[in-house]
Amino acid sequence: MRIGVALLSHESNTFASFPTALSDFQIARGAAFADRYRGTFHEVGGFIAGAEAYGYEIMPLFGANATPGGTVRAAAYEALTAELLERIWGAMPLDGLLLGLHGAMAAEGFPQADGETVSRVRALLGPDIPLFVTHDYHGNVPPQLVEDATALIIYKTCPHIDQRERGLQAAELLTRTVRGEVQPVSSIAKPELVYNIAFHNTNMGPMKPVMDAAIELEGQPGILAASVAAGYQYADVPWMGPCIVVVADGDQDLADREAQRLADLMWSLRDELLPTIPSPAEAVATAIASEDKPVSMMEMGDNIGGGSAGDSTFVLEELLRQGASGWVLALYDPEAVEACAAAGIGAQLTLLVGGKVDDEHGPTLTVEGTVRTLHDGKFIETEVRHGGGRYWNQGLTAVLETSGGLLALNSRRTPPMSLNQLRSVGIMPEQHEIFVAKGSVAPRAAYEPVSARIIEVDSGGATSISRPREDYQLARSGLYEWTRQS
């Protein structure tokens, strides 16, 4: 059994000021693609492990992904999908294809880019070759994608720590489908909601009961898979919002009925989706006064894993203004890193930091400090962390010690998914009291183990959780968060 494996993944924030170009993608082909993911906690790691577990020959084709950012350039999207299709064609005959897609890729001209990709792949494969697609829990899934794919499997955890498991699940179902043991039929139901990211944590209400119901459903006779996506509110696309996808064995009515049942459950909890999260000033004051330390602050408006700038200063400004001490904050600022590198370790200097990418992420601030370390920025994470990533590169990084805390200035936008981002540049988390992680839910997998308390912060930026309805033009107009406010 010859199974193709491919990945084309990007979470595109259509509100971000910087588009995503072809050069932003990390691309690997053939054996190098398999080497990058073998043994990792990513879903492609699961696709690869499935070869041994379920007895197929793996044809590693092509993998491309980029740090979340703005809408993907048209030329980049066309180049990536052209290569994907070429490589699938070159590997034919295939018995099936495992395709990892994010679910929230938006390209110029194709706001529902993953739907377009699946449509192109299906056209190439023809109607009969099983095509199993995996998605991030933050996908905005169009019904057409569920029709074109044989089955869609979505991560069940946020922070995402089950990606490998979902890859293996897709691999198992695909092999059973190829052997003719099961006949997947799918149904999608989309509750007409904006599901605010403040409630995406699958370990808490109101999402936990919905996810628990999906997990329970998956164990029922006749059901092959049951998924819940929370959606991705930072993309103005037609199918923005959550969904339920149920895959049944040959029984369309069962799939339809159960998808609708879970959608009704999600809908019934809609009035719990009203965020009340403190401002940077309030959150920093709470962190300073907290008796439970260390505290990790989630800077939600500058969620790098959600495609924001990474150089927001709203929380940093408050830390400085309120005289906080013992804090650690990683900030994207290649210019400041260059200044530190030029001055050298031990140099004292005054720097202008942050707020440089655009005018949505706070003012550029003046800080004084001493350069403590310089590092090339590469690190490895071997534990299960959100995103399943193993090899990381935050670019040349300088640690500047200020009177109140440490600024880790990096030259590549780097989502805070691993504490090794700090350890690798000489920062020992055990020695500090306040961490600022530029993210919403995802950083918890790394930061909860070292934190006595998590404080969320409703800050401004490309991933502000309070974006007004007027900013959306393509999204469906009747979504509940908006209709409730009017």
Where does this chain bind Zn ion (CB under 5 A)? 136, 138
- Residue 136 or 360: the one with the smaller Cβ distance to Zn ion is 136
- Residue 200 or 432: the one with the smaller Cβ distance to Zn ion is 200
Q: How far is the CB of 36 from Zn ion (least distance, A)?
A: 19
Helix-then-strand count for the chain, H and E: 14, 19
Q: How far is the CB of 418 from Zn ion (least distance, A)?
A: 16
> What per-residue string of b and e applies to 416-426 under the rule 16 or more CB within 10 Å gives b?
bbbbbbbebbe
- Residue 304 or 316: the one with the smaller Cβ distance to Zn ion is 304
List the structure tokens of 213. Answer: 């119901």
Residue for token pair 């210019």: 335
CA distances to 44, 176, 245, 254 from 135, rounded to whole Å, are 11, 20, 11, 22
Q: How far is the CB of 68 from Zn ion (least distance, A)?
A: 9
Q: How far is the CB of 158 from Zn ion (least distance, A)?
A: 7
Q: How far is the CB of 456 from Zn ion (least distance, A)?
A: 17
- Residue 136 or 456: the one with the smaller Cβ distance to Zn ion is 136
Give strand pairing partners of 186.
247
Q: How far is the CB of 401 from Zn ion (least distance, A)?
A: 34
- Give Cβ neighbours of residue 109 (< 8 Å, ≥ 6 apart): 74, 77
List the structure tokens of 63. Answer: 């993998």
List the structure tokens of 115. Answer: 């739907």
- Residue 167 or 294: the one with the smaller Cβ distance to Zn ion is 167
Identify the three-state secondary structure at position 39: coil
First to last CA, the chain: 55
Question: Nearest residue by C-beta to Zn ion?
Answer: 138
- Residue 138 or 156: the one with the smaller Cβ distance to Zn ion is 138
Residue for token pair 């400004």: 317
- Residue 70 or 405: the one with the smaller Cβ distance to Zn ion is 70
| CB contact at 8 A, 283 and 439 | no
Q: Are strands 295-299 and 453-457 parallel, antiparallel or unpaired?
A: parallel
Q: How far is the CB of 380 from Zn ion (least distance, A)?
A: 21
